[in-house]
Chains A and B, each alone.
Chain A
Amino acid sequence: MKNKYLLACLLPLLVLVAARLPYAPDPLPFRYPEGWPAPVYAFDKNPLTREGVALGRRLFYDPVLSGDSSISCSNCHLSYTAFTHVDHALSHGIGDSIGLRNSATLVNLAWSRSFMWDGAANHLDVQALAPISDPDEMGENFAHVVKKVQRSRAYRGLFYQAFGDSNATGQHLLQALAQFQLTFVSANARYDRVMRGEAGAAFSEQEQKGYALFRTHCGSCHQEPLFTSGDFARNGLPPDSLLKDMGRMRITGNPEDSLKFKIPTLRNIEFSYPYMHDGRFSSLQQVLRHYAQRIPLSPDERTDLMAFLLTLSDKEFLFNPNLSYPRK
């Protein structure tokens, strides 16, 4: 409000300046398969553009985003493994609170209502603040990261092309990261092709049996087609006495939420080991043995279930050249 008159004066000037540089971002329609629920992400507030996604991709792979410029998002989220940190039960890197948990798979984020195993982040845009900021500094560090990005000539151009403002702001930086991550859509596993009735796509007898078992025992939480309902649940894991992770209760303070964690998607599960919020299981066999303690599942049935779970692997997604490290 205080700037209204100043703005009125500057506006013609800005128009003059802008007229010289091309700011014409190329809209990128968000595509997803027919029959899927509508995405949750409010694209009207942050419309996808080719330039925005490209900027987000660059940022995702740039260690400039960590306070001490040592690691990037991709250190813990690798594209070839459904953007998780394979082989590391608890993610390595900055920040104590992050070291508590197994790195999450980043897939189909446009449909998520909350982020992190306990839902600590309420929106994809602001999720990135957690890994970027040093938890002890309460966001002050993010201002420092924004300053570092502002100083880079290359980024000035990219921010201008994406948002019409060469000066990087926290908002635009977060929105660009979100734009890139929103393109992580995995919807072309063999499961999907079978469901779409594509020619030549079919389940084997074993996979078919596994699918039936899955729908009976797992589908209420790992709901199709996203393989998560987005809710928080207890799946019977005993708490780890060292980590003392109370899950959702940390956020809500409600004792009923104790030991509840966000139901993870099972898409590309073959590749996103280790499993569970603390990465306690290194193989799917172990996961199924865990469930078999509460759900009657014979060894044969477990083999069938396993066969079905492997149909959720989407190689086209995992090896999508648009998602990997941006080569200039």
Chain B
Amino acid sequence: MQSLIFLWICRSVAVPPAAEKEIHIRFRPVFQEQTLVLGQSYELKGQPVRIETLRFYVSQIALIRKGKTVWQEANSYHLVDLAEDTSLFFGLTLPSAIKYDSLHFTLGIDSLTHVSGAMGGDLDPSKGMYWAWQSGYINFKLEGSSPLSTARGHGFQYHLGGYMPPYASARSISLRVPKAEQWTIRVNVGDFLAHTDLAEAHTLMSPGARASALSDRAAAIFSCDEK
């Protein structure tokens, strides 16, 4: 009996009213033309390369029409982690009549959130995306290995973050999106590494001019097939 009531409550609460529709965003990490799989080998400048970690924050999701914001997601913070399939895919509930041409989001975490203390959910500092020794979120984390790296063990680690001017490293990204129910956003890690000199710059774990420059590069690897 209890479970019946429970089901009834579920139905009445959970069935979305017809005035809304659901759109899904899927992040699809790739290495150039290949789907990116952690631990698998790809080719970079004639050498093998493996990716062990790819995690980043997507926040402040909004929809744009002719340059104007027509919708914003409330409490919009998503930690996307290639090691967690479910984090690559999430829905947005929109008014069904809404019209838009572009998706807008921030790669990383805004500065106000940065100075507001301990947060929960995807922003919980125990998610491994928070610097311990100096307050601040890591907006984008990419780790792996390749003989191209001159570091011990040939590893490379890019932890991009920093919220204080002039080196604030969260980046705004705008992508034109199709009129479909699912948007697939490619994240081309190969492109990021193709433009990075692993011999010279293989480890970055603090805010500053380099983190800021690499954040520009990270923002440029996001694209959406507009079909």
A and B bind: yes
Interface residues of A (CB under 8 A from B): 1-2, 4-5, 8-9, 11-13, 42, 45-46, 97, 120-127, 129-130, 132-133, 135, 138-143, 146, 169-172, 174-175, 178, 251-253
Please name all residues of chain A whose beta carbon is closer than 8 Å to the beta carbon of B115 when the two chains form the complex: 122-123
Whether B91 contacts A126 by the Cβ 8 Å rule is: no
Closest A residue, CB atoms, query B86: A2
Known: A1-B92, A120-B135. A139 touches B125 (CB 8 A): yes
Is B4 close to A, CB under 8 A?
no
Whether B124 contacts A178 by the Cβ 8 Å rule is: no
Instruction: Report how far A178 CA is from B73 CA in the complex, Å.
Output: 30
Instruction: Report how far A141 CA is from B127 CA in the complex, Å.
Output: 10
Please name all residues of chain B whose beta carbon is closer than 8 Å to the beta carbon of A175 when the two chains form the complex: 117-118
Dominant SS at the A interface? Answer: helix
Within 8 Å by CB of B6, from A12, A127, A132, lies A12
Whether A138 contacts B132 by the Cβ 8 Å rule is: yes
Instruction: Report how far A256 CA is from B120 CA in the complex, Å.
Output: 36
Within 8 Å by CB of A138, from B13, B116, B120, B128, lies B128
Please name all residues of chain B whose beta carbon is closer than 8 Å to the beta carbon of A142 when the two chains form the complex: 125-126, 130, 132
Whether B134 contacts A9 by the Cβ 8 Å rule is: no
Interchain Cβ contacts under 8 Å between A and B, 5 examples: A45-B117, A133-B133, A139-B125, A139-B128, A253-B208
Is B154 close to A, CB under 8 A?
no
Is B38 close to A, CB under 8 A?
no
Please name all residues of chain A whose beta carbon is closer than 8 Å to the beta carbon of B90 when the two chains form the complex: 1-2
Pick the 8 closest A-B CB pairs, nearest first. Answer: A170-B126, A133-B132, A125-B117, A125-B118, A174-B118, A171-B120, A122-B135, A8-B13
Q: Which of B91, B131, B164, B208 has the most CB of A within 10 A?
A: B131
Instruction: Report how far A203 CA is from B93 CA in the complex, Å.
Output: 67
**Shortest beta-carbon distance, A109 to chain B, in Å?**
13
Within 8 Å by CB of B13, from A1, A9, A139, lies A9
Instruction: Report how far A45 CA is from B123 CA in the complex, Å.
Output: 15
Please name all residues of chain A whose beta carbon is closer than 8 Å to the beta carbon of B120 when the two chains form the complex: 169, 171-172
Instruction: Report how far A45 CA is from B14 CA in the complex, Å.
Output: 29
**Shortest beta-carbon distance, B42 to chain A, in Å?**
25
Is B159 close to A, CB under 8 A?
yes
Is B18 close to A, CB under 8 A?
no
Whether B125 contacts A45 by the Cβ 8 Å rule is: no
Interface residues in B56-114 (C-beta closer than 8 Å to A): 73, 76, 86, 89-93, 114
Whether B130 contacts A9 by the Cβ 8 Å rule is: no
Please name all residues of chain A whose beta carbon is closer than 8 Å to the beta carbon of B92 when the two chains form the complex: 1
Instruction: Report how far A178 CA is from B7 CA in the complex, Å.
Output: 41
Whether A123 contacts B116 by the Cβ 8 Å rule is: yes
**Shortest beta-carbon distance, B89 to chain A, in Å?**
8
As a 0/1 sequence over residues 17 to 32 of chain B, the CB contacts with chain A under 8 angstroms (1 = contact) are: 0000000000000000
Please name all residues of chain B whose beta carbon is closer than 8 Å to the beta carbon of A171 when the two chains form the complex: 118-120, 123-125
Closest A residue, CB atoms, query B117: A125
Please name all residues of chain B whose beta carbon is closer than 8 Å to the beta carbon of A170 when the two chains form the complex: 118, 124-127
Please name all residues of chain B whose beta carbon is closer than 8 Å to the beta carbon of A127 when the two chains form the complex: 135
Is B1 close to A, CB under 8 A?
no
Closest B residue, CB atoms, query A96: B133
Please name all residues of chain A whose beta carbon is closer than 8 Å to the beta carbon of B125 when the two chains form the complex: 126, 129, 139, 142, 170-171, 174
Instruction: Report how far A221 CA is from B194 CA in the complex, Å.
Output: 51
Closest A residue, CB atoms, query B134: A120
Instruction: Report how far A178 CA is from B92 CA in the complex, Å.
Output: 35
Is B9 close to A, CB under 8 A?
yes
Is B180 close to A, CB under 8 A?
no
As a 0/1 sequence over residues 131 to 171 of chain B, the CB contacts with chain A under 8 angstroms (1 = contact) are: 11111101000000000000000000001000010010000
**Shortest beta-carbon distance, B164 to chain A, in Å?**
7
Whether B93 contacts A139 by the Cβ 8 Å rule is: no
Whether B91 contacts A143 by the Cβ 8 Å rule is: no
Given contacts A138-B205, A171-B123, could you give 16 more A-B pairs where the C-beta distance is less than 8 Å?
Answer: A9-B10, A42-B116, A45-B117, A120-B135, A122-B114, A123-B115, A126-B130, A129-B131, A133-B133, A135-B132, A141-B132, A142-B125, A170-B118, A174-B125, A178-B118, A253-B208
Please name all residues of chain A whose beta carbon is closer than 8 Å to the beta carbon of B117 when the two chains form the complex: 42, 45-46, 123-126, 174-175, 178
Closest B residue, CB atoms, query A46: B117
Is B129 close to A, CB under 8 A?
yes
**Shortest beta-carbon distance, B21 to chain A, in Å?**
13
Closest A residue, CB atoms, query B9: A12
Please name all residues of chain A whose beta carbon is closer than 8 Å to the beta carbon of B124 when the two chains form the complex: 169-171
Closest A residue, CB atoms, query B120: A171
